[in-house]
């Protein structure tokens, strides 16, 4: 019997229905793989729709600039032949095409949109386009003099330089503005003056405040997590509910509570005045500044640090510390050299989770931050909701995303993302 089995080659083995065994196994593996793909397909679709498409849209909008070219589709091609290095405005042919474009835009009520776009680059374009569009249909040759009669700005070569520069399908102006650069009257890229350089300062403020909030959350969460992991299960579960309790309260309510607590007539200042540590005229300003933002955000984000630390600490056997003590280490040395290294995975998971949430936080800084405590996310929201400069908001968001990815890669290089665990 054994001789018969040995004489049969593996490739000649067949199943009961006569199919070669190798083919049958390949089919089974393929069916299992397809079933697995079908199970995860809804998740992939959800992530693609809610994550990748918005990010791609943001990146595209940060450089997209088709509005001017689409509206002034006759003028823009002619304008490319104009020499912008001189001090002479374009000729009659360009103005004639501009008249036709404005007349068409007035009929479709679309003249204001490119004006608002160009107004981001040079104030005055929005009103200039609206004024010109209202009178464009009644203009007669020579169009050059007729346009200048409507507004002297049409005779200013700087307006034409901006119009030519921003008439392409793509632009780098949004990214230049996001990095505190702009164009001078000659079209050269220059650094904005000190008082006008606001975005880089906000990026640095967002970075260091997010790091500080992460460190403070770690300092507060580590002893809490250690206590939860060493207490009996019944007690630790009860305390864990207290840690999770803030999640059951609205974020707006929690932030508003800090306004009542930290304001100059609030609970903390009243208590310090009552104890005599402060005079009634020397109350501390702890709200609508960086202090208020840091305190409120540490409170909001603390559970996101406690939970990863607790889940990792719970898996560390107590025998590790006892073994270190039995080998001659004092309690402090045993804790620092044996226990803490085993919690690095939880520190990494909690740290990166808190930092990424903090760097893009919006509601809490908007309510308690004031002028000195706002983050770059608040300015992004301003451009989205108030100034309607979506291109600049997209550029700021793309730079923030790039910064987070760079820090993530740095973290992976130094610590290793494989060492990050949630338990």
Q: 347 lies in a domain?
A: yes
Let me know whether 106 and 220 are in one domain.
Answer: no
**114: domain range?**
66-171
In whole angstroms, what separates CA 261 from the centre of its chain? 30
Matching residue, tokens 């969460």: 221
Q: Which two tokens stand for residue 177?
A: 């503005």
Q: pLDDT value at position 11? A: 53
CB-based contacts of 354-357 (< 8 A; 24+ apart in sequence): 354/213, 354/214, 354/217, 354/218, 354/301, 354/304, 354/305, 355/210, 355/211, 355/213, 355/214, 355/407, 356/404, 357/301, 357/304
Q: pLDDT value at position 5? A: 41
Let me know whether 167 and 290 are in one domain.
Answer: no
Mean pLDDT by 10 residues, the chain (423 residues): 44 70 83 89 91 92 93 93 87 94 91 92 92 91 93 93 92 94 88 87 94 96 93 87 85 87 88 86 87 92 93 88 87 89 88 91 88 88 90 94 88 71 55
Q: Per the structure, how many domains does the chain have?
A: 3
pTM: 0.85
In whole angstroms, what separates CA 93 from the centre of its chain? 46
Let me know whether 325 and 207 are in one domain.
Answer: yes
Cα 16 to Cα 38: distance, rounded to the nearest angstrom: 29
Let me know whether 13 and 84 are in one domain.
Answer: no
Let me know whether 150 and 50 are in one domain.
Answer: no
CB 160 within 8 A of CB 86: no
Count Cα atoms within 13 angstroms, Cβ side, for 227: 11
Let me know whether 338 and 245 are in one domain.
Answer: yes
Residue that is last in its domain, among 61, 79, 104: 61
Let me know whether 140 and 40 are in one domain.
Answer: no
Let me know whether 15 and 74 are in one domain.
Answer: no
3-class secondary structure, 314: coil
Q: 186 lies in a domain?
A: no
Q: 319 lies in a domain?
A: yes
CATH of the domain at 386: 1.10.3720.10
Cα 164 to Cα 374: distance, rounded to the nearest angstrom: 36
3-class secondary structure, 56: helix
């Amino acid at each position: 019997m054994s001789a018969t089995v040995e004489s049969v080659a593996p490739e000649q083995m067949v199943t009961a229905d006569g199919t070669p065994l190798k083919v049958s196994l390949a089919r089974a593996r393929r069916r299992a793989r397809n079933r697995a793909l079908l199970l995860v397909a809804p998740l992939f679709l959800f992530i693609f729709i809610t994550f990748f498409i918005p990010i791609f849209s943001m990146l595209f909008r940060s450089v997209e600039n088709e509005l001017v070219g689409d509206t002034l589709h006759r003028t823009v091609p002619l304008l490319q032949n104009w020499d912008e290095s001189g001090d002479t405005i374009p000729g009659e042919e360009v103005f004639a095409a501009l008249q036709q474009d404005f007349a068409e835009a007035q009929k479709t009520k679309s003249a204001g949109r490119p004006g608002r776009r160009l107004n981001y680059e040079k104030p005055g374009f929005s009103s200039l386009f609206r004024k010109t569009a209202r009178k464009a249909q009644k203009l007669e040759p020579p169009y050059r003099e007729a346009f200048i009669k409507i507004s002297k700005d049409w005779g200013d070569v700087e307006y034409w330089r901006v119009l030519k520069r921003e008439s392409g399908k793509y632009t780098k102006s949004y990214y230049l503005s996001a990095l505190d650069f702009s164009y001078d009257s000659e079209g050269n890229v220059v650094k904005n003056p000190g008082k006008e350089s606001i975005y880089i300062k906000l990026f640095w403020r967002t970075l260091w405040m997010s790091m500080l909030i992460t460190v403070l959350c770690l300092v507060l969460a580590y002893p809490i997590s250690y206590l939860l992991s060493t207490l009996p299960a019944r007690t630790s579960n009860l305390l864990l509910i207290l840690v999770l309790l803030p999640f059951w309260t609205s974020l707006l309510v929690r932030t508003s509570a800090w306004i009542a607590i930290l304001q100059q007539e609030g609970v903390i200042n009243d208590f310090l005045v009552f104890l005599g540590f402060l005079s009634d005229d020397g109350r501390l300003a702890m709200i609508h500044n960086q202090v208020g933002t840091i305190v409120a955000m540490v409170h909001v984000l603390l559970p996101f640090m406690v939970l990863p630390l607790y889940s990792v600490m719970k898996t560390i056997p107590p025998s590790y510390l006892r073994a270190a003590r039995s080998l001659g280490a004092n309690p402090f040395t045993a804790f620092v050299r044996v226990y803490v290294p085993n919690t690095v995975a939880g520190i990494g998971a909690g740290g990166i989770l808190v930092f990424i949430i903090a760097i893009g936080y919006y509601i809490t800084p908007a309510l308690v931050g004031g002028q000195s405590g706002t983050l770059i996310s608040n300015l992004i929201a301003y451009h989205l909701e108030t100034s309607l400069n979506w291109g600049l908001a997209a550029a700021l968001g793309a730079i923030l995303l790039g910064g987070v990815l760079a820090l993530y890669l740095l973290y992976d290089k130094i610590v290793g993302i494989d060492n990050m665990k949630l338990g």
